[in-house]
Amino acid sequence: MTTSAGIAGRAIVFGDDVNTDVIIPGRYLVSIDPAELAEHAFEPLGPEVQARLRASAVVVAGRNFGCGSAREQASTCLIGAGIGAWWRARSRGCSSATRSTPGSWRWSARPPSTP
């Protein structure tokens, strides 16, 4: 039996090593409300990036997305911003995606080799 799931929508793209202090600055960790946290998601990167995040449904990021301090608010702020899934490169040729809504799914894939 084969199961497939699709991800659709506008994406915002980040590079490697986006740490949790960039995703949600530490001064906002007093909240667990997704909507409140979303107002401050990626605040260090400026209002233009925040506006692009709110217009997106998917986050695509390089290696080490979410590195740094372990904090639940980093994923909670993405949910509050309306992000339905995030994709990140894990290592050479591997990737992973996480759905941020109930009924979550995860997948890993190695893309086909290119000459």
CATH fold of 11-108 reads Aconitase; domain 4 (3.20.19)
How much of the chain exceeds pLDDT 90, in percent?
42
Task: Give the DSSP per-residue string, 36-56.
Answer: HHHTTTTGGG-HHHHHHHHT-
Higher model confidence: residue 81 or residue 5?
81
pLDDT surpasses 90 at 84 = no
Give the Cα separation of 13 and 56 in Å (integer).
Answer: 10
In this model, does residue 57 exceed pLDDT 80? Answer: yes
